[in-house]
Amino acid sequence: MKSTENEKQYIYIVQALLEPSKCKIGVTKNLEKRLKSYNNITGVSKENTYEYLYTCEVKDMRKVENDIKEEYYFVREDVKKEIYLYTDELFKKIVNFIKSHKLFVEEVFIKKEVKPEVEKIIKIVKRTTPPLDERGITRKDVMQSAQNIDNDEFYTRYEDVEKELSMYDKSIWKDKVVFCNCDDAVDTDERKTSAFALYFLLNFKELDLKKLICTHYANAVDLFNQGPKGYIYTREFTRNGFKEYTDYPRGYNGSFDHPLSLKILNEEADIVCTNPPFSRAIDYWKLLIESGKKFLIISNITNVLNTAYIPYFQENKVWAGYNSVNNYLNPKRQPTDAAGHWYTNFPVKDRPKYKLLKIMPLKNIPEIYKIYDDSKTLLVDNCYIPSNYKKPFAVSTRSILNGILEKGYKIVKEKRYDPYIKGKKKFARVLIQKIEK
């Protein structure tokens, strides 16, 4: 069906104001009339009116609609085959797809008839966490709190997952089974879905995944309001097409060290991607690294100074990813601080933070950033690295996270190094040494 000179055709995305997950893509030849029909549906309250999120004119509305549904089949509802799931990321992807379609004509703007007070209620405000100085805290305060986290029930933000994972070549995901095994709940509601699960659901086809497996942990703190039962969610491709299902095995609590979770880890998973609880990271790292699987995980920024983890870095079984993660959301969806960082065993190419390393002859390092402790061990700060120093010297977390171990230096002690200056204990460090060729 193609439009004539006097008959225009439109694609629209409509949303119920008080039910943001109810978002529908449709076609019409009369935008005003179609919107009125939505708002005249029996049972729709005056407050829960519908409005257009996006409207545009196209040359063949049925063709464009079918192409959208074919492209985003992986988020279509099972029975009616409509796309009802709404997230900011999915919305942007679909709009960009429509605008780049060869049958796209132009955007159309329909005046919204929404009462100010209702609009205020349903408006989604994206908050950004103020800088440390505006909140009256220092980096030292954040680092100190990172070592003493009791309640580690945090939501990882979607933007932090997307920022890190977009740094790696997409080919690493092709035909792979991704396992998100630390309370990575899945729901049609974005607010009840883990950021890790959401990223892979939205990018399933683009990454060319074979399967996604996510587990929900039945904890005292029901982080995603998914109920008291642990479950396993699976989305996969089969010969008969795409399918997804959720299992509630008897006695399964969803913990990463439950026998069933370990079975999936060891027998099915290719790549693990999640944010394990900081309080159980030692156990988690041991299980994960012994499994031999590839991984991208968030963990405490101080792990590189912790004796429990240093051997992994020393043996080149793990290294820092690209980004730090300092901001999370607590169960009340309030911003909270916890100094984390990405860790991986995937190759890191052209690490941007290399430029923060100041590798130079010892004599050129400013005096303020080099000192010898009571045992005559050299300590360097502010990412200064002596290029001509042959003995072991001590560096802080930041040098390791910025990639100094990839620049011809190695860790020489399996335990953290605690320097003393004039008898007073200073911040823990790691002893490294230049590798002699």
For 403-424, b where at least 16 C-beta lie within 10 A, e where not — what string? bbbebebebebeebbebeeeee
Say how far apart CA 325 and CA 300 lie, in whole Å: 9
* Residue 168 · residue 350 · CB < 8 Å: no
Q: Is the pTM of this model over 0.85?
A: no
pLDDT in tens, the chain (437 residues): 454 556 899 999 888 766 655 678 899 999 999 988 888 764 455 556 788 889 999 999 999 998 988 887 766 655 566 665 556 667 888 898 999 999 999 998 876 554 443 333 223 333 334 444 444 445 444 444 444 444 455 778 899 999 999 999 999 999 999 999 988 888 877 778 889 999 999 899 899 999 999 999 886 555 555 566 889 999 998 777 678 889 999 999 999 999 999 999 999 999 999 999 888 899 999 999 999 999 999 999 889 999 999 999 999 999 999 999 988 877 666 777 778 999 999 999 889 999 999 999 999 999 999 999 999 999 999 999 999 999 999 999 999 999 999 999 999 999 999 999 999 998 899 999 999 87
Phi, psi (degrees; rounded to nearest 5) at 141: -60, -45
Report how far residue 394's alpha carbon sits from residue 429's, in angstroms, rounded to the nearest whole number: 6
pLDDT score at 151: 46
Structure confidence at residue 145 (pLDDT): 43
Report residue 416 as tokens. Answer: 């953290």
Task: Give the SS3 label for residue 285.
Answer: helix
Domain positions in the chain are 9-122, 133-349, 353-434
- Residue carrying the six token digits 């699987």: 293
Query: Do 363 and 384 meet the contact criterion of CB atoms below 8 Å apart?
Result: no
pLDDT at residue number 39: 81
CB 293 within 8 Å of CB 272: yes
Which of the 8 DSSP states describes residue 410?
A: E
Domain 133-349 has CATH 3.40.50: yes
**What pLDDT is stored for residue 404 in this prediction?**
97
Taking every pair of Cα atoms in the chain, the longest distance, rounded to a whole number of angstroms, is 88
Q: How far apart are CA 249 and CA 435, in angstroms?
A: 51
pLDDT of residue 331: 66
